[in-house]
Amino acid sequence: MISTISLNPFFKIFDYEAIRQLADSFITIKNQFYIKMKKQQQNQPKKVLQIARYKSAFLRPTGVVARCGKSVYICPDFHKKLSRIVCILGEGDITLTDYLHSVLKHHFEDFGEEINTIHARNQKPIL
């Protein structure tokens, strides 16, 4: 008698042991990949959001009056971004001048030594 299994062209006899070994090796590779990725993530310093620090440093009034300062031209894209930051994050409590003053003050505090060093290196003797 002919078996119905042999007549079905879609039915194949599988080597289930080979399939199990292949699946096990795939799982091993996958686990090794995840372990490697986890180690890489652990080696990278985590960036901690410091929202309160940012707000206290940049999103507060400074008392600088715009009409006492100087005009500075910036590209339209930066102006749009800065205006949105001041309007949305500043919640109407700060001006564009306040925000720019805080950002530049922070920049000068962080990079003051570098700025002074570059300036000193670029000074040429008069005579």
**9-24 pLDDT tens trace:** 555 566 667 777 777 8
**Which among 103, 30, 34 is positioned nearest to 62, based on CA atoms?**
103
Does residue 127 fall inside a structural domain? Answer: no
Return the structure tokens found at 59. 């999103």
Kindly give, in sequence order, each residue whose CB lies less than 8 Å from that of residue 93, ignoring residues fewer than 6 positions away.
59, 60, 61
Whole-number average pLDDT of the chain: 81
Same domain? For 91 and 107 the reply is: yes
**How many helices (H) and strands (E) would you count in the chain?**
5, 0
What is the C-alpha to C-alpha distance for residues 47 and 12, in angstroms, rounded to an integer? 54
In a domain, 23, yes or no: yes
Contact partners, residue 59, CB within 8 Å, separation at least 6: 89, 90, 91, 93, 94, 99, 102
Based on the fold, state whether residues 101 and 59 are members of the same structural domain. Answer: yes
Number of domains in the chain: 2
Lowest mean pLDDT across 26-30, 42-46, 47-51, 103-107:
42-46
Q: Are residues 38 and 55 in the same domain?
A: no
The pLDDT, as a whole number, for residue 94 is 92
Residue 96 belongs to some domain of the structure: yes
Q: Quick check: 4 pLDDT over 80?
A: no
Kindly report whether the global pTM for this prediction surpasses the value 0.85: no
Q: Are residues 12 and 60 in the same domain?
A: no
Domain that residue 15 falls in: 4-43
Distance CA 5, CA 52 (A): 70
Residue 15: what pLDDT?
66
